């Protein structure tokens, strides 16, 4: 199998989720560091528009969104599993809550004025300004929690996580599953990036101990790789045929009345509304695949999960 190339940056919480899963599964990987704000020409050459972090590249196949990346890594290396059979439903439902509700409560708490001041302390004011403007543009119509409401919710969520971590080493038992990795990354951001607001965790020591156990998994074996080399890999590779790629489901499932072969766009439901356009070559129970050609990356297949993404016929189709 071609190398696993993760496009990410060190302070990205969703990337930390994937780095730990790579560590859990002992999968060697190549690390491409991407910018945290736009412009991201090398990212867009591969994804066709999607600008969020992280994404995984395997040859000329591009997997967007950490939930989909977890499914791919599970397929590549089934053990240890992220989805134990007896927790298959609940662990995915919990992970989706953690990646959305928990994540946004944590972020609104983290980015309260004291946290933001700490994050950008020592940086020129234009850095903080550019970051703020980039994230504001990504927010679109999404309603953000106010810091006090976010802190109150975050405290409750931490208590609920603590109740689970007091019962066993990991949230649903003695081994970590997808729920642990999804709940960990927003808390990791609080602890590592904005320690000035991490006192919210003081009342729940079981959470800190559970986080230590996850942190100890580490990131596995990685090798630095450049964006230019990653684009060359895409350009010199053939995308895997639909149905024989690293996704488990392959049967066409039509929910939109859009036949395969149509020119479509795929856009995140919220936050970062940049679209990717291409030819729809798969729409299965859990994911979409678009085929597109880029001047630099050549022909690539870009994969998205169904959940959290909007599929439409392209405007000019």
- Determine the interface stretch with ligand GSH among 23-31, 49-57, 226-234, 279-287 (rule: CB under 6 A): 49-57
Using the structure block, give the residue that is written with the tokens 């156990």: 213
Residue (193 or 313) nearer to ligand GSH, CB:
193
Q: Which of 61, 74, 99, 274 binds ligand GSH (CB under 6 A)?
A: 99
* Helix or strand (DSSP H, E) at 7: strand 5-8
The C-alpha angle 76, 20, 31, rounded to 5 degrees, equals 75
Minimum Å distance from CB 261 to ligand GSH? 27
Minimum Å distance from CB 18 to ligand GSH? 8
**Is 92 a residue that touches ligand GSH (CB under 6 A)?**
no
User: For ligand GSH, how many residues bind (rule: CB under 6 A)?
Assistant: 14
**Is 230 a residue that touches ligand GSH (CB under 6 A)?**
no
Minimum Å distance from CB 60 to ligand GSH? 20
Minimum Å distance from CB 237 to ligand GSH? 23
Among candidate residues 54, 63, 31, the one with its CA nearest the CA of residue 240: 63
- Give, as ranges, the residues between 240 and 279 that touch ligand GSH (CB under 6 A): 271-272
Q: Which of 42, 65, 277, 294 binds ligand GSH (CB under 6 A)?
A: 65
* DSSP string over 139-204: HTTPPPPPHHHHHHHHHHHHHHHHHHHHHSSBTTBSS--HHHHHHHHHHHHHHHH-GGGGGGGTT-
**Is 36 a residue that touches ligand GSH (CB under 6 A)?**
yes
Each residue 4-33 as x (binds ligand GSH by CB under 6 A) or -, in order, gives --------xxx-------------------
Minimum Å distance from CB 189 to ligand GSH? 8
* DSSP string over 113-125: HHHHHHHTTTS-H
The pair of three-digit structure tokens given for residue 299, joined into one six-digit string: 């022909």
Phi, psi (degrees; rounded to nearest 5) at 312: -140, 155
Q: Which of 21, 22, 46, 67 binds ligand GSH (CB under 6 A)?
A: 67
The pair of three-digit structure tokens given for residue 259, joined into one six-digit string: 């036949």
Q: How far is residue 24's CA from residue 8's CA, in Å, rounded to a whole number? A: 18
- Give the side-chain half-sphere CA count within 13 A for 140: 10
Which spans of this chain sit near ligand GSH (rule: CB under 6 A)? Answer: 12-14, 36, 51-53, 65-67, 99, 271-272, 308
């Amino acid at each position: 199998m071609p190398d696993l190339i993760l496009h990410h940056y060190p302070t990205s919480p969703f990337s930390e989720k994937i780095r730990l899963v790579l560590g859990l599964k002992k999968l060697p990987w190549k690390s491409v560091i991407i910018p945290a704000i736009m412009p991201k020409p090398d990212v867009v050459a591969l994804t066709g528009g999607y600008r969020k972090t992280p994404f995984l590249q395997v040859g000329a196949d591009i997997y967007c969104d950490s939930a989909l990346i977890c499914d791919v890594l599970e397929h590549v290396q089934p053990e240890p599993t992220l989805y134990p059979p007896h927790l298959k439903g609940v662990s995915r439902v919990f992970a989706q809550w953690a990646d959305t509700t928990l994540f946004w409560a944590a972020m609104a708490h983290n980015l309260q004025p004291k946290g933001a001041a700490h994050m950008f302390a020592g940086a020129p004011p234009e850095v903080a300004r550019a970051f703020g403007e980039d994230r504001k543009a990504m927010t679109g119509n999404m309603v953000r929690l106010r810091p006090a409401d976010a802190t109150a919710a975050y405290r409750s969520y931490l208590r609920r996580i603590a109740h689970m971590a007091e019962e066993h080493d990991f949230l649903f038992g003695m081994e970590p599953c997808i729920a642990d990795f999804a709940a960990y990354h927003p808390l990791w951001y609080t602890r590592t990036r904005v320690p000035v607001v991490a006192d919210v965790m003081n009342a729940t020591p079981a959470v800190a101990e559970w986080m230590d156990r996850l942190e100890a998994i580490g990131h596995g074996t990685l090798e630095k790789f450049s964006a230019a080399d990653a684009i060359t890999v895409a350009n010199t590779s053939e995308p895997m045929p639909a149905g024989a790629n690293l996704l488990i489901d392959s049967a066409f499932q039509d929910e939109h009345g859009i036949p395969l072969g149509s020119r479509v766009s795929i856009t995140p439901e919220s936050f970062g509304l940049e679209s990717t356009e291409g030819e729809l070559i798969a729409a299965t129970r859990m994911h979409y695949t678009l085929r597109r050609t880029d001047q630099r990356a050549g022909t690539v297949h870009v994969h998205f999960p169904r959940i959290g993404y909007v599929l439409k016929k392209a405007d000019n189709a």
